Amino acid sequence: MARVQALFFDMDGTIVDTERDGHRVAFNATFREFGYDVTWDVGTYHELLQVAGGKERMRRYFERSGLFPAGVPDPLIQSLHTRKTEIFIGLIQEGRLPLRPGVRRLMTEALDAGLRLGICTTANERSVQALRQAMLPDIPFEIILAGDVIRRKKPDPEIYRLALEKTGLPAEAGIVVEDSANGVRAGKAAGMFVVATTNGYTEREDLGDADIILTSLGDPVGEKGVLKKAAGPLDFDGCLRVDALLAHVARQA
């Protein structure tokens, strides 16, 4: 088995807990600006999260709502999504969406261990770059793959297979860090080891296919994670550390 050489991170819900107080807020503000009496509450947005991609979520919602009996116009969906992205980026730049516990620490440990880093997300390129520049400017990601570069979104493994192709790595050399059932399924379908970190939206999802499940990656002087699942012994003190993760993966080989 090839040794682990890279960590591939999802973004929304994994690097930053963006869904409830980021994307949802931005969607609702956009609907108001465009004159639609539409508000996605927390429960509604949770249901819509089962659909991968913001444009796809809007289309699904509008089709079910009956607002557009003749079909939802593509230009409208694009206009809504463009404005929503601008509002969302503003929230990031204002510092209203902090990194999840342990994210920067784990990335720094991975770099110190000689691992390569990537972001693989269904979010659009502008959102990803805004987050990277505002919150992780010191982290040298080798690849950043956004939803714009793939045809099939998670749970399809296309984005993770593309990450392996671009890095030239076999599946067993990569670890995926995700937060949702769709993301977990995508990582496993690509043949990689998967770590799942739950959040308020995904803690009740079926993440059982993940190799490790945690409530967060954990910070030594901040929020500690709770270990929910590990396929065998894992050295864990409330923080998932790279050396312990690599040792755990090696034991599973």
Active site residues: 10, 12
From the list 153, 152, 86, 145, the residue with the least C-alpha distance to 120 is: 145
- Considering only CA atoms, give the Rg of the chain: 18
From the list 153, 133, 137, the residue with the least C-alpha distance to 145 is: 153
- Which structure tokens are listed for 80? 């809504």
From the list 194, 200, 106, the residue with the least C-alpha distance to 157 is: 194
81 CA to centre of own chain:
18
Residue 87 CA to residue 22 CA, distance in Å, equals: 9
Would you give the DSSP letter of residue 212? E
Residue 3 CA to residue 214 CA, distance in Å, equals: 23
